[in-house]
């Protein structure tokens, strides 16, 4: 005895066929395994039903009045709401050209009538599992993109805060004698210390000509005589 497939829980399937016998057989089989099944007897009604309530998978006949399965499939794939729904063609047409048309129209699989219920069920389960994986990947990617966007926003806010901290502005009290700067807490700092705390500047020390002349007149005079 063959092992029965696992019972579906919430997945829905839209069956499209103008033959009532095929609709009854497929509906009964899929309902037995827990799938939520709806039926449509034409391509036009299939499009309306899919737009009204998006199915997880569509079983689509080809030879139908008013609109054939190829046309219905192309319209479903052109609609942003239904384009990601997998479509399995079920048809009595067995020619290679028809199968190629089915895949180029947007179908993911092709079952030839008269079909075997076990084969149909196996293909349904396979493509529903693939669809679930695709949806999980899309959800994970969307969450990742959201996290990246949030991180970029936080980085921008942090950079703005750092730029504000590193920018000197406003009134800076400076000692007229020693040239120390008074901070917002009332403490006095050497100019280079204060600037380093509020900017990205780095310091090196030396003497300007006026200070060199005042502090080391003998050295300054020697340099002048050497340059003459």
Q: What is the mean pLDDT of residues 163-177?
A: 68
**Among 113-117, 137-141, 148-152, 179-183, which is the least confidently predicted range?**
179-183
Domains of the chain, by residue range, sit at 12-139, 181-227
Averaged pLDDT score across all residues of the chain: 84
Q: Specify the pLDDT at position 1.
A: 39
Cβ–Cβ under 8 Å, residues 60 and 16: yes
- Given this structure, which CATH class describes domain 12-139? alpha beta
* Cα–Cα dist 170/81, whole Å: 57
Share of the chain above pLDDT 70, in %: 85
82-123 tens-digit pLDDT? 999 999 999 998 899 999 999 999 999 999 988 888 899 999
| Mean of pLDDT values over 165-175 | 67
């Amino acid at each position: 005895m063959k092992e029965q497939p696992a019972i579906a829980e919430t997945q829905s399937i839209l069956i499209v066929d103008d033959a009532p016998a095929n609709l009854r057989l497929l509906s009964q089989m899929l309902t037995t395994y827990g799938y939520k099944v709806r039926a449509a007897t034409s391509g036009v009604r299939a499009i309306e039903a899919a737009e009204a309530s998006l199915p997880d998978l569509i079983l689509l006949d080809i030879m139908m009045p008013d609109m054939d399965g190829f046309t219905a499939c192309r319209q479903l794939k052109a609609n942003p709401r239904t384009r990601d729904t997998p479509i399995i063609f079920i048809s009595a047409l067995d020619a290679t050209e028809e199968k190629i048309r089915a895949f180029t129209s947007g179908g993911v699989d092709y079952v030839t009538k008269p079909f075997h219920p076990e084969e149909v069920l196996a293909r349904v389960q396979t493509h529903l599992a693939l669809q679930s994986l695709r949806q999980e990947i899309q959800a994970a990617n969307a969450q990742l993109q959201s996290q990246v966007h949030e991180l970029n926003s936080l980085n921008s806010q942090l950079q703005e805060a750092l730029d504000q901290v590193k920018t000197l502005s406003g009134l800076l009290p400076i000692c007229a004698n020693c040239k120390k700067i008074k901070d917002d807490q009332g403490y006095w700092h050497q100019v280079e210390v204060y600037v380093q705390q509020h900017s990205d500047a780095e310091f090196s020390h030396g003497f300007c000509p006026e200070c060199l002349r005042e502090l080391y007149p003998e050295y300054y005079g020697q340099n002048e005589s050497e340059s003459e």
